[in-house]
Structure 1
Amino acid sequence: MPTLSEHLLARLTASLAPVDAQLAARHPGDPGTRQPVHTCYIPADRLHPDVVLDWGESAREALAAHAPSPAALAAATGLGATSGPGGAAPNPAEAAADPALAERVYAHVLAALSLEPIQDLRADLEDGYGIRPDDVEDEHAIAAATALRAAHEAGALPASYGLRPKSLDPAVRDRGLRSLDLFLTALAGDDGGPPGLVLTLPKVSAPEQVTVFLAVLDELIPRIDLRPPAVELQIETPAAVLALPALVEAGRGRVTGLHVGTYDYSAALGIAAEHQASDHPSVEYATTLMQLVTAGTGIRVADGSSNFLPVGPTPVVRAAWQRHAGLVTRAWRRGLYQGWDLHPAQLVSRHAAVAANLLAGLPAALGRLSAYAEARFAGAVADEPATARALAGHVLRALDAGLLDDAGLAAADLDRAVVTKLGGRVS
């Protein structure tokens, strides 16, 4: 018989009931939905109904011109090698070592650029757009919303899309909120607008800005019968990094993502332009803090962009692709599965890096997850539930990307129901 009675233990632990409720509310876990591999920012004045199709076509043209074969793409991006010991990421120096993997990466890139070149799109009225006369920005805000509605009607709108207005800094606050109003009013139409809307608030520095932004939306959304949008915050000021817990708290469960602003943040720290990049230690420190603060909350963290664009002669394009693919790979190893893309040709290195990282680790992930599902050890690795969830996450991302199907799961003695449950995804 236990020494302590159930009644006594119930009395001693009663004070934990409200703590349990608070922890459950603050840490509901991953939303269990597909996460886009990137967000593409396009200046609002360049947005048109066929923009996604045009980006895909431009990316395919870049691929054909600068990497017309699997081996050429592997060499151009430093990808395509087999995984190292224990499922480690491939060594770029051995990028051409596995022709079969290079073939699969190339096939995936072609398919992605044809079927889903852009997974998440933002009409940009902030840094990528600049300062224009008020009447011009008014026109572009409305035209961008109209173009997105037309893209939706044509079946050419990504599953998630939205707007990055100007920030709530005093100098551009009124302009940003006016454009937000014009854009959302035009987007809503008479049917609430297309599903998947995400609004990105840039240059956040204080939780009060998040509170005000949400208050503005609360006033506007019912008046125009808009579908409630998701909200993302761009973390690109030192003040934002220092205030991360308060920013998340101010989001009141409505903030779904934090995106690091590589260049604004680096510049604010005094880092020289030549060293500003998402793999700079200061930026990686910020994204690590973002991951720490959002762990278990359902808020996803996204890496930044590369401003080394693949434009020009083949050696320059390939150098930009290799740099971009390297940044994507480094981010994936750190648990950052989404980043920014700024140019159509970056879609080549983005989708190539995603495929290479998923395929290189997929056999080991399937084997270990199958072993865990059968409640036995895989070799010398004894996986715990948390590790099984991470393994299932890798498998689910491969399914999302079309790099794995039900037959591949069955070959590993797995099925979607099991993987979905182990990965914590809503079925």
Structure 2
Amino acid sequence: MPTLSEHLLTRLTAPLAPVDAALAARHPGEPGTRQPVHTCYVSAERLHPDVVLEWGECAREALAEHAPSPADLAKATGLAEATGLGAGMDGVARRTGELDPELAERVYAHVRRVLSLDPIQDLRVDLEDGYGIRTDDVEDEHAIAAAEALRMASEAGALPASYGLRPKSLDPAVRDRGLRSLDLFLTALAGDDGGPPGLVITLPKVSAPEQVGVFLAVLDELVPRIDLNPPAVELQIETPAAVLALPALVEAGFGRVTGLHVGTYDYSAALGIAAEHQASDHPAVEHATTLMQLVTAGTGIRVADGSSNLLPVGSTDVVRAAWRRHAGLVTRAWRRGIYQGWDLHPAQLVSRHAAVAVNLLAGLPTALARLAAYAEARSAGAVADEPATARALAGHVLRALDAGLLDDAGLATADLDRAVVARLGGR
């Protein structure tokens, strides 16, 4: 018989009730929605209704010219070396320096399919660094025209599931201009139906929680006046002050902020890192993204990696070098648990989707086998893997399902189904 009575334990643990409620509210877990593998930035003056189709076509042309076969793509992107997998379809890793032919075929087919059907998963109109400083009348025109183009793209079924705007920051020198463009863009986007769903606004160069509060207050004033569907908000972490204030930034945007995106080059430059060494795999940048992961863990706020400024443009050798670098950065981020990054050029879609496919397919047989064993063992009362590990395994399987690299038949072969995987993955 226990020494401490139930009544006494209830009294002693009563102070934890509000703590339990606060922790549950602050750490609700993953949002249960598909996460885009990238965010593509397009300068506002280049935005038109067919921009997604155009990027897909340009990417397909680059693939056909510079990697016309599965073996060419595997070699061009260096994915065998990046993943360390020479044979992945049987779940066995072999460091041969070449990608297993069957895996290479599946990756190539995936890239061609995605470039035709879903080349851009998250689109952002850029009025900030990628756009620069224009006269007021020109930026006014571009902000409105971009919003109208997005509405037309939505009506034609050519708008990604998530899209939005990156206006200028709240720094004093550009604050008024940024908020004016935000107003013009959202007013034009809202139209008379609230605008297309999936809207995200990215606030760049955040340095203090007060900026987050003011930006949300501006949206709270604007959105009801134009009957706009409330947008999600992402914060771009690209200043040392922002990294030092990460907990406060998340607190200021809690319940409204859905993502943190690292600004690789602004942050690197602010730390005094030479231009030739500025990259998302620099230790200083990876330290920042690790802190971002730490602060957002369990909150449902997603972290996105930065971009590669080595663009795949020019001769085949130059393009392949850029693809190899980009694919390596994507793979490094995936190994660190960061499944989204920036893309700045249509040809980067080739290396992005190829790297995603290799990382998912190479680990899929093992993930399915371990997840099936976990589900069976749990039903039998004997579990080897921890629940947290099972959640990670289910996350891998869910991302493969989201990417179209796995279907119900493949799940059934592993004695799994979507309901079980979704439940174990927290969806």
Q: Normalising to structure 1: TM-score of the pair?
A: 0.96
Distance 1:286 1:253 in 2: 22
Which structure 2 residues correspond to residues 325-336 of structure 1 after superposition, within 5 A? 325-336=327-338
Give 1:215's match in structure 2, choosing from 192, 214, 217: 217
Moved over 4 A (4+): 86-91
Distance 1:162 1:118 in 2: 13
Task: For 2:222 and 2:123, locate their aligned partners in 1 and report how far apart those are by CA, in whole Å.
Answer: 22
Partner of 2:395: 393
CA distance in 1, matches of 2:222, 2:235: 19
Percent identity between matched residues is 87
Does the 8 A contact of 2:87 with 2:103 survive in 1?
A: no
Question: Structure 2: which amino acid aligns with 1:372?
Answer: Y
CA shift at 1:376, angstroms?
Answer: 6.6
Question: Helix, strand or coil: the match of 2:164?
Answer: strand
Tell me, what secondary structure is at the counterpart of 1:42?
strand
Partner AA of 1:136 in structure 2: V
Kindly provide the amino acid, as one letter, of the partner of residue 74 in structure 1: A
Shift of 1:82: 3.8
Q: 2:152 aligns with which of 140, 147, 150?
A: 150
Deviation at 1:382, TM superposition (A): 3.0
| CA displacement at 1:83 relative to structure 2 | 5.8
Q: Tell me, in whole angstroms, the C-alpha distance in 2 between the residues paired with 1:322 and 1:246.
A: 37
CA distance in 2, matches of 1:153, 1:88: 46
Which residue pairs with 2:13 in the alignment?
Answer: 13
Secondary structure at the residue paired with 1:393? helix
Deviation at 1:6, TM superposition (A): 1.0
Q: 1:88, CA displacement in angstroms?
A: 8.7
Report the aligned-residue RMSD. 1.5
| 1:185 is aligned to 2:196 | no
SS in structure 1 of the partner of residue 109 of structure 2: helix
Instruction: Give 2:64's aligned residue.
Output: 64
Segments of structure 2 that go 5 or more residues without pairing to the other structure are none
What TM-score do the two structures reach when normalised by structure 2?
0.96
The corresponding residue for 1:94 is: 97
Q: Structure 2 vs 1, CA of residues 312 and 176 (structure 1 numbering), >3 Å: closer, same or farther?
A: same
Q: Which secondary structure does the structure 2 equivalent of 1:24 belong to?
A: helix
- Which residue pairs with 1:122 in the alignment? 124
Q: Deviations over 1:5-40 (max 9, x none)?
A: 111011000000110111111111110110000000
State the alpha-carbon separation in 2 of the partners of residues 281 and 143 from structure 1.
40
Q: Select 1:406's aligned residue among 401, 405, 408.
A: 408
Q: 1:253 deviation in Å?
A: 1.1
The amino acid of 1:182's aligned partner reads: L
Matched to 2:71, the amino acid is: A
CA distance in 2, matches of 1:24, 1:89: 39
Q: Within 5 Å, which residues of 2 pair with 1:357-396?
A: 357-375=359-377, 382-396=384-398
How many positions carry a matched residue from both structures? 419
Pair 1:22 & 2:39 matched: no
CA separation of 1:366 and 1:271: change in aligned 2, threshold 3 A: same
Distance verdict in 2 for CA 1:249–1:118, change over 3 Å: same
Q: Supply the distance in 1 between the matched residues of 2:9 and 2:87 (Cα, whole angstroms).
A: 51
- Gaps (5+ residues) in structure 1? none
Tell me by how many angstroms 1:87 deviates. Answer: 6.3
Question: What is the distance in 2 between the residues matched to 1:277 and 1:90?
Answer: 29
